Amino acid sequence: MKHSIRILSSLLLLIAFSLIARADEAYITNQGENTVSVLSLSDHRIIATIAVGKSPVGVATSAALGRVYISNVDSQSVSVIDADKYEVINTINIAGSPVGIALSPDSQTLYVADWNDNRVLAIDTADPSQRREVSIGKAPAGITVSPDGSKLYVANRDSNDLAIIDTQSLQVLQRVATGEHPFGITLGPDGRQILAVNVYANSLSVIDLETLQTRTIPVGEHPYCVAVSPDSRYAYVTNTQADTVSVIDLEQNKETTRISVGGFPEGINYDAATNKIYVANWFDNSVSVIDASSHKHIQDISTGKQSRAFGQFILNKTSH
């Protein structure tokens, strides 16, 4: 009996170790060197650097497919990365300027915002030649999909609004006014609100998806992107021209603190597994790590030239 317990406990240890070995990863696009840095979130080391297309910007990750999609704005393409081998296995051509990129929750559809031709493409991930498109406002930038996959949200940067699109019919259902020049967007984890960052207005629009009522919260200089804590309590906004992250209390509707990070912070994601926030710094070629419980900037990790990481760049490898 004792013997079998010992075997069982060593088995459990083995299982635990294999879980630890599959850490979450961040896929950071480096616009200035046409690569993606893969950052392990367990030990904060760069475990791979992958050559992609020209001027990579956007990222969408799929745990189900084990793939990561990268938008390359200057080569008019999307690189498809195999996240086990850390190599590009396919390149999808996109006429125009692909920037914002997002996946449906079932990973069957890849949405790509082409901000030169004012449209969003819906591409079948199993057969990228199958694609539909929807014309939209001016310069579609940040995009994201509702948790049930039924709606697509698009920030129309040069129309100063957010479009809500039915994914079945690809019809625009609604356009909700934001502040001036909305760029990065994210859905609150509870699915009740969508947040859009207004670059020229130095503010964050928080849109209630039931009532479509909007609140506007001032942030720092020239903000780009936003992430929300898993409990939907805090939003974190990158202020590109202040080298800071604004921490917004979404219950109090105000900024409660500002955290100094690297130079020209752009993409930002919250990793629920480690309760850390990751920020890509375009000027400093690095990722800043913030501890979400203390709101302290704890580390900088060197990546590649001109890191952007626009979108959902964390691949969850631990929950499988």
Partner 1 sequence: MKKILALLAIGLLPLTAAAHGPSPQKVEKTVVIDASPDKVWALVKDFGNMQKWHPAVESTKLDKRTVDGTEETVRLLTLKGGGTILENLKSIDEDRKQLKYGIIEGALPVSDYYSTITVKEAEGGKTEVKWMGRFYRVYKLNPPIPPGQDDKSALDAINGVYDAGLANLKKVAEGK
Residues that bind partner 1 (CB under 8 A): 31-32, 55, 57, 73-74, 76, 96-97, 99, 115-116, 221-222, 241-242, 263-264, 282-283, 305-306
- Residue 136 DSSP SS3: coil
Name the phi and psi angles at 93, rounded to 5.
Answer: -80, 135
- Closer to partner 1 by Cβ: residue 98 or 188: 98
- The gap from C-alpha 179 to its chain's centroid, in whole angstroms, comes to 21
Which CB sits closer to partner 1, 75 or 312? 75
Query: Do the beta carbons of residue 308 and residue 27 sit within 8 Å?
Result: no
Q: How far apart are CA 305 and CA 199, in angstroms?
A: 23
The residues near 254 (Cβ < 8 Å, ≥ 6 apart) are 217, 248
Burial 7-44 (b: 16+ CB within 10 A, else e): eeeeeeeeeeeeeeeebbbbbbbbbebbbbbbbbbbeb
Least distance between partner 1 and beta carbon 221 (Å): 6
CB of 259 to partner 1, least distance (A): 15
Would you say 199 or 250 has its CB closer to partner 1? 199
From CA 57, how far away is CA 28, in angstroms rounded?
9
Of the two residues 96 and 128, which places its CB atom closer to partner 1 in the complex? 96
Which residue lies nearer to partner 1 by CB, 142 or 188?
142
As measured in angstroms, the least distance from the Cβ of 31 to partner 1 is 6
215-249 burial, b at 16+ Cβ within 10 Å, e below that, comes to ebbebbebbbbbbbbeebebbbbbbbebbbbbbbe
Only one residue has tokens 């296995």, namely 89
Whose Cβ is closer to partner 1: residue 54's or residue 85's?
A: 54
**CB of residue 97 to partner 1, shortest distance in Å:** 3
In whole angstroms, the minimum distance from the beta carbon of 200 to partner 1 comes to 9
Residue 310: CB minimum distance to partner 1, A: 12
Q: Is 204 within 8 Å of 181 (Cβ atoms)?
A: no
Tokens of 68: 């990561």
Q: Which is nearer to partner 1, 101 or 315 (CB)?
A: 101
- Smallest gap from Cβ 219 to partner 1, in A, equals 14
Contacts of 61 (CB under 8 A, 6+ apart): 27, 67, 68, 69, 83, 103, 312, 313, 314, 315, 316
Cβ proximity to partner 1, 96 vs 230, nearer residue? 96
Our measurement of the distance from residue 60's CA atom to the centroid of its chain's CA atoms, rounded to an integer in Å, reads 7
Nearest to 281 by CA among 23, 25, 31, 24: 31
Q: Is the Cβ of residue 111 or residue 310 nearer to partner 1 in the bound state?
A: 310
Least distance to partner 1, CB of residue 146, Å:
27
Shortest distance (Å) from residue 32 CB to partner 1: 6
